[in-house]
Chains A and B, each alone.
Chain A
Amino acid sequence: MALSRLASSSSSSRSADLLKPLCSAISLRRPISTDTTPITVETSVPFTSHQCDTPSRSVQTNAKELLTFFRDMALMRRMEIAADSLYKAKLIRGFCHLYDGQEAVAVGMEASITKKDCIIAAYRDHCTFVARGGTLLEVFAELMGRQAGCSRGKGGSMHFYKKDSNFYGGHGIVGAQVPLGCGLAFAQKYSKDEAVTFALYGDGAANQGQLFEALNISALWDLPAILVCENNHYGMGTAEWRAAKSPAYYKRGDYAPGLKVDGMDALAVKQACTFAKEHALKNGPIILEMDTYRYHGHSMSDPGSTYRTRDEITGVRQERDPVERIRKLILSHDLATEKELKDIEKEIRKEVDDAIAQAKENPLPESSELFTNVYAKGLGVESFGADRKEVRAVLP
Chain B
Amino acid sequence: MAATFHGVGATVAALSSSSSSSSSSSSSSSSSPSNSFGSKILLSSPSRSFSVRKRASFTMVRSEGSMNFDLNFKGRRAQQLIANAVATKADSSPASSSSKPGHELLLFEALREGLEEEMERDPRVCVMGEDVGHYGGSYKVTKGLATKFGDLRVLDTPIAENSFTGMGIGAAMTGLRPVVEGMNMGFLLLAFNQISNNCGMLHYTSGGQFTIPIVIRGPGGVGRQLGAEHSQRLESYFQSIPGIQMVACSTPYNAKGLMKAAIRSENPVILFEHVLLYNLKERIPDEDYICNLEEAEMVRPGEHVTILTYSRMRYHVMQAAKTLVNKGYDPGVIDIRSLKPFDLYTIGNSVKKTHRVLIVEECMRTGGIGASLIAAITENFDDYLDAPIMCLSSQDVPTPYAGTLEEWTVVQPAQIVAAVEQLCQ
Give residues in A with beta carbon < 8 Å to B.
Answer: 118, 120, 149-156, 159, 161-163, 168-173, 176, 178-184, 186-191, 209-210, 213-214, 216-217, 220-221, 372-379, 381, 383-388, 396
Q: Is the CB of A386 within 8 A of B344?
A: yes
CA distance A171 to B209 in the complex (A): 15
| Closest residue of A by beta carbon distance from B176 | A187
Interface check B208, CB cutoff 8 A: yes
Taking the closest CB of chain A, its distance from the CB of B228, in whole angstroms, is: 24
The 6 closest A-B pairs by CB, nearest first: A183-B170, A179-B166, A378-B266, A213-B163, A180-B170, A183-B167
CA distance A150 to B210 in the complex (A): 12
- The stretch among B152-160, B278-286, B322-330 that forms the contact with chain A is B152-160
Interface of A is mostly: loop
Knowing A179-B164, A190-B126 are in contact, say whether A159-B205 is a contact too (CB < 8 A).
yes
- The stretch among B108-116, B192-200, B305-313 that forms the contact with chain A is B192-200
Q: Is the CB of B261 within 8 A of A176?
A: no
Taking the closest CB of chain B, its distance from the CB of A368, in whole angstroms, is: 13
CA distance A179 to B380 in the complex (A): 41
Taking the closest CB of chain B, its distance from the CB of A231, in whole angstroms, is: 21
Central interface residue in B163, B171, B206, B380, by most chain A CB within 10 Å? B163
Q: Which residues of B140-170 have CB atoms within 8 Å of chain A's CB atoms?
A: 152, 155, 157-158, 160, 162-170
Q: Which residues of B243-283 have CB atoms within 8 Å of chain A's CB atoms?
A: 243, 245, 261, 264-267
Besides A187-B176, A213-B163, 20 more A-B contacts (Cβ < 8 Å) are: A159-B206, A168-B173, A169-B202, A170-B205, A170-B206, A171-B197, A183-B169, A184-B174, A190-B152, A191-B176, A213-B160, A372-B208, A373-B204, A374-B203, A374-B242, A376-B211, A377-B266, A379-B261, A379-B292, A385-B344
A-B contact pairs, 22 of them (CB 8 A): A151-B205, A151-B206, A151-B209, A154-B204, A155-B206, A155-B207, A169-B206, A173-B197, A179-B194, A183-B168, A184-B171, A187-B173, A217-B163, A373-B204, A373-B207, A375-B243, A376-B203, A376-B266, A379-B292, A384-B344, A384-B345, A396-B208
Query: Chain B residues near A221 (CB, 8 Å)?
Result: 155
Query: Chain A residues near B203 (CB, 8 Å)?
Result: 373-376
Give residues in B with beta carbon < 8 Å to A.
Answer: 126, 152, 155, 157-158, 160, 162-176, 193-194, 197-198, 202-211, 213, 242-243, 245, 261, 264-267, 292-294, 341, 344-345, 348, 380-381
CA distance A191 to B123 in the complex (A): 10
Query: Chain A residues near B167 (CB, 8 Å)?
Result: 179-180, 182-183, 186, 214, 217
Q: Is the CB of A172 within 8 A of B293?
A: no
Knowing A168-B173, A179-B167 are in contact, say whether A388-B126 is a contact too (CB < 8 A).
no
Q: Is the CB of A176 within 8 A of B266?
A: no
Query: Chain B residues near A191 (CB, 8 Å)?
Result: 174, 176
Taking the closest CB of chain A, its distance from the CB of B192, in whole angstroms, is: 11
Q: Is the CB of A176 within 8 A of B206?
A: no
| Closest residue of A by beta carbon distance from B262 | A379
Taking the closest CB of chain A, its distance from the CB of B157, in whole angstroms, is: 6
CA distance A386 to B204 in the complex (A): 24
Q: Is the CB of B163 within 8 A of A182?
A: yes
CA distance A387 to B351 in the complex (A): 12
CA distance A153 to B206 in the complex (A): 9
Central interface residue in A179, A182, A188, A217, by most chain B CB within 10 Å? A179
Query: Chain A residues near B169 (CB, 8 Å)?
Result: 179-180, 183
Taking the closest CB of chain A, its distance from the CB of B10, in whole angstroms, is: 41
Query: Chain A residues near B205 (CB, 8 Å)?
Result: 151, 154-156, 159, 161, 170
Query: Chain B residues near A375 (CB, 8 Å)?
Result: 203, 243, 245, 266-267
| Closest residue of A by beta carbon distance from B341 | A383
Taking the closest CB of chain A, its distance from the CB of B383, in whole angstroms, is: 12
Q: Is the CB of A378 within 8 A of B207?
A: no
Query: Chain A residues near B155 (CB, 8 Å)?
Result: 221
Q: Is the CB of A187 within 8 A of B174?
A: yes
| Closest residue of A by beta carbon distance from B209 | A163
| Closest residue of B by beta carbon distance from A118 | B174
Query: Chain B residues near A181 (CB, 8 Å)?
Result: 170
Q: Is the CB of B160 within 8 A of A217?
A: yes
| Closest residue of B by beta carbon distance from A142 | B207
Central interface residue in A155, A156, A187, by most chain B CB within 10 Å? A187
Q: Is the CB of A386 within 8 A of B381?
A: yes
Q: Is the CB of B170 within 8 A of A168?
A: yes
Query: Chain A residues near B294 (CB, 8 Å)?
Result: 381
CA distance A184 to B167 in the complex (A): 7
Query: Chain B residues near A179 (CB, 8 Å)?
Result: 162-167, 169-170, 194
Query: Chain A residues near B243 (CB, 8 Å)?
Result: 374-375
Central interface residue in B164, B171, B197, B380, by most chain A CB within 10 Å? B171
